[in-house]
Structures are given as structure tokens and as C-alpha cells.
Amino acid sequence: KEFAQISLKDIDDVAKSSFPLCMRHLFEKLREDHHLKHGGRMQLGLFLKGVGLKLDDALAFWKAEFSRKVGAERFDKEYSYSIRHNYGREGKRTDYTPYSCQKIISSTPGVGDHHGCPYRNFSEENLRAALNKMGVTGRAVGDVMDKVRNRHYQLACTLTFEAVHGSSCDAGINHPNQYFSDSQKIMQS
């Protein structure tokens, strides 16, 4: 079954219901700070492209936030190029693909960066709070934390998916866009 294109008016609801924690975190930080550093723009931008956000909507989405921080003019000059670039409309016109879990987990975010995999990068306290916010409570939180302690980040994400959706995910999570499409399948069934 094909999914409808994600549209700007639904994006906040869809982020809450179907984004994996890595993308929820970037999305929330962008809404909060009206800015993301390069690594975050790439990780979230390519994910959004992968879930079907059209280039025009992507430009409108990023511009609405960045304009509040750096102004519309600076957005057009400094940031819109890289978004168009992600969609293969600039430079070598490569159609860039969204990052896999493996790539995200092995990234090394620095100070002020919000990309990477939260299961790997968050403190235990912040991770517990983020899980609670996603609706994961009680024993499920402990099960997720066990996987994290053993550095099984994708299994931790899989358990989160199962707790959030009340449904098993036998294949396991290996890509944020797979998390999204599996979630949408459940939501729309």
C-alpha cells in the first residue's frame, strides 16, 4: 500500500505518532531553536525527503523556522541551496538517500549538535524522559534501558516501537524511514 505524501499541515502530528526518536528529537529542537546545525539538517532533511515531503514543502518548512532565527534573506542565501542539493537540484544532481541507523549510530555529534542516535548519545536521565514523552512507561522503559546498556541501540529502538504501537516489529528497526513506514502501516490499518 502506498502512503499519502506527508503534508506540512500534518507534519507535527505525524512527527509525534510515527517518527523514531532520533528524528523526533531533531524535529523538536528545530521547532524550539529555529535552527539546526549541518549534521542535523542533513539527518532530518533526508529523512523528510524519504517520507515524501516535496521539495517546495521542504523549503517552506525550513524557511519558516530558520527565518525566525537568521531572517528570510539569509536563509535564501545560505541554507536553501543545501536543501535543494539534498533533493538533487544543485551541484552534481545526485539524489541523496536518507541515512540508515548504522550510519546515524556511528556519527559523532559535537557540542550543540542534535543529530545521531539518542539511544547511543543521550544520558540515561534524558533518555528516560524522552521515552516517557513518547508514551513508553513502566517495565518497557527498563527493557529499553537494558538494550542500551548492552549497546544494542537498534533493538532498544525496536522495543520502543513495539511499546508505542502495541504491536510487534519482528524484522527489527534498521532504518528511520522503515520505522516511519511500519508505523504508518499500523496507524492506517
Please answer whether residues 176 and 98 qualify as being in contact, where contact means their C-beta atoms are separated by less than 8 angstroms: yes
- 15 touches ligand SF4 by CB under 6 A: no
SS3 1: coil
Which residue of 44, 131, 136, 157 would you call a contact of ligand SF4, by CB under 6 A? 157
> Of the two residues 68 and 97, which places its CB atom closer to ligand SF4 in the complex?
97
| 3-class secondary structure, 93 | coil
* 87 binds ligand SF4 per the rule CB under 6 A: no
Residues 169/163, Cβ–Cβ less than 8 Å: no
Neighbour tally for 110: CB within 10 Å: 9
Grid coordinates given for 81: 541551496
- 22 annotated ligand-binding residue: yes
- Judged by CB under 6 A, the number of residues near ligand SF4 is 15
- CB closer to ligand SF4 out of 60 and 187: 187
User: Residue from 101, 163, 164, 169 that binds ligand SF4 (CB under 6 A)?
Assistant: 101
* Region of 9-17, 84-92, 117-125, 135-143 interacting with ligand SF4 (CB under 6 A): 117-125
Q: Nearest distance from residue 21's CB to ligand SF4, in Å? A: 4
Listed residue (21, 32, 30) closest to 127, CA to CA: 21
Query: Is 169 known as a binding-site position?
Result: no
Is residue 58 within 8 Å of residue 45, measured between CB atoms? Answer: yes
Angle at 105 between CA 184 and CA 120, to 5 degrees: 95
Q: Measured from the CB of residue 80, what is the shortest distance to ligand SF4 in angstroms?
A: 26
Query: Which of 18, 86, 121, 154 is in the footprint of ligand SF4 by CB under 6 A?
Result: 154
E strand residue ranges, 27-145: none
- Residues annotated within the binding site are 22, 101, 117, 157
The contact set with ligand SF4 (CB under 6 A) reads 20-22, 101, 104-105, 117-119, 153-154, 157, 173, 176, 179
